[in-house]
Amino acid sequence: MEVKKEVLSITKLNSSANVPITLSINNKKSTPVKNNVHYPIKNKNYIRSILSCLVFSMSLLVHDVNSVQSLQSVKGEPNECQNVLLVSSWFDNSIQVYDGCDQAFLGLLDTNGLVKGPQSIVLTPKGDLLIVSEGTNQLVLFKRQSSSKQDSELIRFSKPVLSKPIAVMDHADGSFLDKPVGATFDNQGNLYVASYSQNTIVKINPDTWQITDIVLSPTTTSAKIKGVDAGFVIDSQRLLIPGYDSDNVIQVDVNTKASSDILHTNQYGLDAARSVFVYGDDLLISAERSNKIIRINKHTFKQQADFAEIIRPASIVADGPQHILVTTRRGLVRFDLTTGEHQQLISQATGHIKGGTFAVRIDASLVKPLIISPLPMVDSGTDLE
């Protein structure tokens, strides 16, 4: 069987000329071109002058390096990275943990066997960690806890616990979820959870885990959508919802339930919508089968330009004020929102991701006690495309 290697292909737009510039990353090291041209110098005094300048320049360089090292030691910069990346790997039912600075694989988050088909990873308003487990119809919660040690308080996540099982609530009135994929909170702390198979989004009280409202339902929503995916978001009291199977994006008012299309089926080449991200007056929409991220105005829904071309994009999440993390089937890419520049943080060659669905960066101290032994670096032999 031929083993395929995923190659990241990204197109960045030149803002001045609006001309696509295609960049590729294929894990090959470039070989510098050697300069074989020699310029003979016969004047010895000239040579002495050049050498004197070089010695002086080196002394300045050593001084600058020592100054930087002294500054770092005064600031007390820690050698250990203070954050980690959590990545949902759907096919092997794991939450993988990577060093947030050098992206080294650290191991797996100990989910106590409660996660199957992980999707969204969300920090709650209380600082807890919530993981949507599609295969078990559950929300898995890691509660933030405090403990004292040598007169200092440690804030860490506890062992995971299940929410009250949403899947066994009263089925008669439809207030249950099957195949949950996405979760998000509004400014009032209400939790919204999406079901892929039911094409619904429900509102949940996170203190009681009871469904308090059905915001999106096939029987009440005029705008049609199929295969609600994990990357839905809330923006100014409206839910922006991607349809993976219907290849469209709709909006729903959380109060009135009024709905309408943002992008019609296959508009602007949209195929398999996975995630919506709000950036100022724009929306970024990942289209998995189109291998690109579409950019539109969030008021007019007119296309601005394709933000990037990237193989199998899934979730889009914020990584600081000016960057985003984009998961792919086998990797994780970080984009600068202002310049479009990108960095492939995790690739097929450096990671274990098999069906990446979501990623988030969090404080390393919260999860380090829950990291279990790393897996051996063994590839599955397929690119999962």
Note if the pTM is more than 0.75: no
Task: Look at 247 and 69; give whichever has higher pLDDT.
Answer: 247
Return d(Cα 155, Cα 117) in angstroms, integer. 28
Q: How confident is the model at residue 45 (pLDDT cuts 50, 70, 90)?
A: low
| Average of per-residue pLDDT across 277-300 | 96
Q: Please tell me the predicted confidence (pLDDT) of residue 172.
A: 39
For 23-32, 196-205, 239-248, 358-367, which range has the lowest pLDDT when averaged over its residues? 23-32
pLDDT band at 251 (very low <50, low <70, confident <90, very high): very high
The confidence score (pLDDT) of residue 176 equals 59
CATH topology of domain 81-372: Neuraminidase (2.120.10)
Scan for tokens 């398999």, then name that residue: 272
Mean pLDDT within 168-173: 38
Asked if 97 contacts 373 with a C-beta cutoff of 8 angstroms, the reply is no
Least confident of 22-31, 140-149, 208-217, 320-329: 22-31
pLDDT class of 375 with cuts at 50, 70, 90 = low
pLDDT band at 178 (very low <50, low <70, confident <90, very high): confident
Which residue did the predictor score with more confidence, 28 or 48? 48
The span from the CA of 328 to the CA of 3, in Å, is: 18
Residues 92-102, mean pLDDT to the nearest whole number: 95
Output the average pLDDT for the chain: 76
Which residues lie below 8 Å from residue 201, measured CB to CB, with a gap of 6+? 192, 193, 194, 195, 214, 215, 216, 228, 232, 239, 241, 252
Domain boundaries, the chain: 81-372
Question: Sheet containing 282-287: which strands, arranged edge to edge?
Answer: 273-279, 282-287, 292-297, 303-309
Q: Is 302 exposed, middle or buried (0-12, 13-18, 19+ CB in 10 A)?
A: exposed
Q: What is the pLDDT of residue 142?
A: 85
Confidence of residue 159 (pLDDT cuts 50, 70, 90): low
Question: Which of the given ranges, 139-143, 151-155, 233-237, has the highest pLDDT on average?
Answer: 233-237
Region 246-260: mean pLDDT is 94
Q: Is the pLDDT of residue 96 over 70?
A: yes
Identity (one letter) of the amino acid at 150?
Q
Q: In the predicted model, is pLDDT for residue 145 greater than 80? A: no
Res. 50: pLDDT tops 50: no
Other CB atoms within 10 A of residue 352 CB:
23
